[in-house]
Structure 1
Amino acid sequence: MSRATIVVIEDDPVFQSLLQQYLANLDFTVIAASTGEEGLRLCRESEPDIVLCDLMLPDINGLQVIEQLLGDASDAPIIVISASEEMSDIREAVRLGAWDYLVKPVNDLHVLDFAIENCLHRHHLEQSYESEVWELDDHIDVIYQDDAMIDRLSQELVPSGPLQVGDYRFSQQQLDPLSRGLWIEYRPLLDGQVLVIIASVNAPAEQKLLPLLVLKTLIDPLIRQHLAGTDHTILYPEQLLTHVNLELCHSKIRSAFDVVCGIVKTQQHEWCWAQAGDKIVSSSEGKPDLALGIWQHAQYRTHRAFLPPHSHLQLKLDSAELVIDRA
């Protein structure tokens, strides 16, 4: 049984053949096109689950393909694979609605499989969320009828335990262990840096889980790209929030998110962060910006603070707190 149908729009015959063979071996159904117009026609005919698209095509460029696909009301996730490393191209592709962007040469094709799975997972979550919103009154959303599934998904949104990196200890505490309305993350990055996130969504209690999982799937690829050395947006809080806000405004998730995301530089003893929304209380001073998912043109600022020895930083949200301690 096919995992999903993928349309590949790529004019390089060697790379196109490589993608076809690799994806077919992973049990995907692959349909290939060498031009933008042919790709658009195949997308209309086959209604794929994922579209892989190059930017440099012989007839129309990939940005026009993305625009026309969305104009056709297609909701298939689009992954751009291009040799262009220009930030302007990447920003424009994301602005138009691309879900991910991989830079050629893709030396490790497992990265592509990861990107596809991430997009399929996010797409499923968005469809489930849309179904939940429209059908909640009929109580037919199976996710919330399965406590074991709810618990499993909720566990993806909190760390399994404390984290120690150099002199720094990261921990979290929830006074209400049954609370499922927030996401707490601290993740080691390169060069002794640690990503810190605490987030909540403005939605009824029974509808918070799926939007937060979608938010997580938007940030996970940026962590992967940083660890692979291909993109370091994750290290710049204002860029991260801008990117995620744009994605949320293009998504089917019609909710506002309160988020603090930041980087602890354990070697330089610096805390760099940005804040969207005003519901999170921080022991560091910094004026919050607009919550995510409200306005696609919102702007975000990075704040900085030195972390002296024995410093104690707290981020509080409802009955939970994330704590960063320096020895």
Structure 2
Amino acid sequence: MSDVVDALRHGANDYLVKPVSDLFVIENAIKECVNGTLEESLQFDELESLSYLELNQNLELLAQSEQAAKSVQQQLFPPSRIEYSKAQIDYSLFNTDEVSAHFIDTAMLDDSHIMMYMAHFYPHDNRAAFASVLLKSFVNHKLKRYRNKLSKVITEPYNMLTYLNDRMSKSGLDIYVDMTYVVIDLSSYRVAIAQAGSEFRCYLRNREGLAPLAIADSMQLGVSDWGAPSVQFRTLMPGEQLCVLTNVSEHKLQLLNNEFHGLVHDENIPAGGFIQLTAT
């Protein structure tokens, strides 16, 4: 599934699961890709319904096997340092169980925009792995539409969280998500932040330390009668970094000590972690 996610992010139209017993399925998939008929013939909701169906068919084992869930989820995590042309992102996530309740993701949207988010799933069980795949797939869907000049939602944190809440609440997972979603425009160093739930705190970091951003708590994603997310806009000054972290004093100290290790399994450190964006 990590290969599927990466392929879709880089522009793939579809994927097939082997073994394929009927060669007509391959032929039809190729024709739809070449002719571009799939998106023209199906409405948006129908397309997403197909995505749900495929994910449910191919990921049922995650709910039953902890090792399978762990394996799939770990493949979705990026390395501890992600370097872009004008920025870098570093993070540490500490996990006390086989499947992480916390998840991070990031992408270069175009030459001047970077997206990153940090998520927390509740309840914490094998469904967190399933939710990680779903969440990344939903984000990839908007990323693909943005690159095809069909939608700007992925660059708009308020609208992105509204969209993700709708998708998660209809997923049938019965899982709730705390999430902080960030987009930075590197041409102006303007940062837009939207937040749902109360798991995370945002900070501006400089030589003096961490300065908290006043972002109000709001309802978690996955609620049918969900309200609006909290939103904040800032401009990064030279030497400043944007940080998102869980509200654990130990995590804050590790961030200040620049202890970036990616995903770490350690039963002696509270679950959670931090992510830091540095414009270069």
In structure 1, stretches of 5+ residues that fail to align are 5-21, 31-51, 56-78, 81-92, 102-115, 133-140
Q: Deviations over 1:259-291 (max 9, x none)?
A: 111201111101101001001122133113211
CA change 1:289–1:128 in 2 (3 A) is farther
1:162 aligns with 2:81: yes
Whether 1:123 aligns to 2:76 is: no
Structure 1 vs Structure 2 CA RMSD:
3.2
Quick one: distance in 1 between partners of 2:40 and 2:145?
19
Q: How does 1:175-324 map to 2 (within 5 A)?
A: 175-176=94-95, 180-283=100-203, 284-317=213-246, 318-324=271-277
Equivalent-residue separation in structure 1 for 2:175 and 2:59 (angstroms): 12
Distance 1:257 1:99, change over 3 A: farther
Q: Is the 8 A contact 2:102 2:272 kept in 1?
A: no
Q: Which of 88, 96, 100 in structure 1 is aligned with 2:48? A: 100
**TM-score where L is the length of structure 1:** 0.58
- TM-score w.r.t. length of structure 2: 0.67
What do the CA deviations read for 1:126-177 (whole angstroms, capped 9, x no partner)?
7557xx4xxxxxxxx2x32xx3x34431224321242233442211112448
- Summarize the alignment of residues 80-159 of structure 1 with structure 2, pairs less than 5 Å apart: 80=43, 94=45, 98-100=46-48, 118-124=51-57, 132=63, 141=64, 143-144=65-66, 147=67, 149-159=68-78
AA aligned opposite 1:183? F
Distance in 2 (CA, whole Å) between partners of 1:259 and 1:296 is 17
Q: Kindly, what percent of the aligned residue pairs are identical?
A: 12
Letter in 1 for 2:27: N
Larger Rg: 1
